[in-house]
Chain A
Amino acid sequence: MNPAKPPSKRPGWLWPVPVALAGWELATRAAGDLSFPPPTTIFSRMREMWLSGPADRLWLTDAALTDIPASVGRLLAGWALAGLVGTTLGIALGRSPLLSRFLGPLVHFARAVPPPLLLPFFMALFAIGARMQINVILFGVVWPILINSAEGARHVDPLHLETAAAFGLSRGQRLLRVVLPSALPKVFAGLRLSLSLALILMVISELVGSVDGIGFQLLDAQRSYDLPGVWGTIVLLGLLGCAFNAAFLAAERRILSWHRAANQTT
């Protein structure tokens, strides 16, 4: 089933990482600029910030145990809600030409508003805190999911629908067992886009209005001229982004295995 893996999937593809790190180290040491600390300094600061706790807590510090879960929790809550709302509304729009004609322009307008601009509004509406941040993420990332779901639901194979009609599947069964699975590959494409968008909005919402979280830590480090701390937080965000993406792709591979395989054979 899995012949020669593409080059990027072999373990050997990681070799540019140590090379880049070594180059970075040499360049920053040669420059000696305080704004650009060498990676070794950044990593030891990261260790200090998050991995210098007691052994019985797996060396995690208080900051690692409060800020990171708080941020990740808000991100996942906002993203999951957006997934629910976006898929439901998207499929409704995709299946109903009437609804699509009425709401389509509104959706395209709302999508065109840059999500960070919503921050002042939501801060006024909900005050600073998790509720505000989750709402910012929800309204910022729901659009790719909604538009992709609508696209997927609009293009269900007519013969699938005819088969469902011929065997008298009820409306609910048709939606749940025919339309939704048909649209799922598109829904997942939207979810994946939204996940990286959610990470960005999480940080931005914490930079502006928060008393904890990774974004708040970043702001705190910057205010106290802790540049290795700033860099370390940025690296942490990059690593989180990679981890989310990898976890998402693994889930997608499992759930959409029929889609990949069916498209390979036909």
Chain B
Amino acid sequence: MLEISNLTHTYGSGPGSHHALGGVDLSVAEGELVCIVGPSGCGKSTLLRSVAGLLRPGGGEVLFNGAPVAGTPKDLAVVFQDYSRSLFPWMSVADNVSLPLRRKGLDRPRREEAALEALTQVGLEEAGAKYPWQLSGGMQQRVAIARALAYRPALLLMDEPFGSVDAQTREDLEDLTLRVRGHHAMTILLITHDIDESVYVGDRVVVLSGAPATVVGDLRVDLPEPREQIATREHPGFVRLRAEVGRLVRGPRPAAQHPTPETV
């Protein structure tokens, strides 16, 4: 459903330019949950923004359901890392969730119904009338997830979605993501810098190199379902995969832990 071929992008030009993507090839099948990991600053977000149509890549092609991405595709929703700046503080939680549904041409009662259903799925059915800033960080991110779910996208993009919450909330949100994808026929592309997380939630883990990013690893995660925070993480397969992903993220040389433009 998603075909990315030889995607490149450079920010700026001249000596101050930053070569973020160095030819990324990736294809994602319908219904997959693909995690993308890589060292920080390697261009993961650039990749996601290209898929979302928020950024025009310098070169290469992104095909979404066979059609090249120009502008934001209709069947796509995004969950950003910074929930407090991605939710609108002047709207109630329910209004935040139902706002994108206007694009689908739903009338008001049906928008409200869909918003309530999505909020129920993330366990926030009571919070519709509240404002985002009246909720904790984890709850705000659940609202952002509900907003994406209500939209019923074919492809859900998540950009470091659990990067700004505490460890306990993070685990809850990971399980929430696994639970809701069971209810919807969605393909999910989740970006993270957390190796454990990528192995825990993903069907597939794609490892990017430091900038300019290329795909250096593509591993299938064959852990028993359903995943469970304690049991899955002590499964021998989990331990083996996270070591493998860890080595790929670090790169072939031990010194390449903090890759600089000169070393690549």
A interface with B by C-beta (< 8 Å): 157, 159-160, 162-163, 165-170, 173, 177-178, 181-182, 184, 258-259, 261-262, 265-266
Asked if B74 is an interface residue, CB under 8 A from chain A, the answer is yes
A177 contacts across to B, CB distance below 8 A: 88, 91, 99
A178 in contact with B133 (CB, 8 Å): no
Q: How far is the CA of A126 from the CA of B14 in the complex (A)?
A: 59
Q: How many residues of B contact A (CB 8 A)?
A: 26
Identify which of residues 68-86 in chain B touch chain A, using a CB-to-CB cut-off of 8 Å. Answer: 72, 74, 76-78, 80, 82, 84-86
B103 in contact with A168 (CB, 8 Å): yes
Select which of A163, A167, A170, A262 is within 8 A of B131 by beta carbon: A262
B100 in contact with A160 (CB, 8 Å): no
B85 contacts across to A, CB distance below 8 A: 157, 159-160
Q: How far is the CA of A187 from the CA of B223 in the complex (A)?
A: 55
Main secondary structure of the interface of A (DSSP, over half): helix
B89 in contact with A169 (CB, 8 Å): no
A165 contacts across to B, CB distance below 8 A: 53-54, 72
A181 contacts across to B, CB distance below 8 A: 88, 90-91
A259 contacts across to B, CB distance below 8 A: 89-90
Nearest residue (CB) in A for B82 is: A159
Q: How far is the CB of A185 from chain B (nearest CB, A)?
A: 10
Shortest 4 CB-CB contacts between residues of A and residues of B: A167-B100, A181-B90, A262-B89, A166-B78
B interface with A by C-beta (< 8 Å): 52-54, 72, 74, 76-78, 80, 82, 84-86, 88-91, 99-100, 102-103, 131, 133-134, 147, 151
A258 in contact with B100 (CB, 8 Å): no
* Given contacts A159-B80, A168-B100, A258 and B151 within 8 Å (CB-CB): no
Nearest residue (CB) in B for A158 is: B85
A162 contacts across to B, CB distance below 8 A: 54, 80, 86
B84 in contact with A169 (CB, 8 Å): no
Select which of A163, A173, A258, A262 is within 8 A of B86 by beta carbon: A163
Q: How far is the CA of A170 from the CA of B84 in the complex (A)?
A: 22
A184 contacts across to B, CB distance below 8 A: 90
Q: How far is the CB of A80 from chain B (nearest CB, A)?
A: 22
B84 contacts across to A, CB distance below 8 A: 266
B74 in contact with A178 (CB, 8 Å): no
Most chain B beta-carbon neighbours within 10 Å: one of A166, A181, A261, A262: A166
Most chain A beta-carbon neighbours within 10 Å: one of B52, B54, B89, B91: B89
Nearest residue (CB) in B for A166 is: B78
A166 in contact with B103 (CB, 8 Å): no
Select which of B77, B133, B147, B151 is within 8 A of A265 by beta carbon: B133
Q: How far is the CA of A111 from the CA of B211 in the complex (A)?
A: 49
Q: Can you offer 13 A-B residue contacts whose CB atoms are under 8 A? A: A157-B85, A159-B82, A160-B88, A162-B80, A163-B80, A165-B72, A167-B78, A167-B103, A167-B151, A169-B99, A170-B103, A173-B99, A181-B90
B86 in contact with A159 (CB, 8 Å): yes
Select which of B72, B88, B91 is within 8 A of A166 by beta carbon: B72
Q: How far is the CA of A4 from the CA of B192 in the complex (A)?
A: 44
B76 contacts across to A, CB distance below 8 A: 166
A168 in contact with B74 (CB, 8 Å): yes
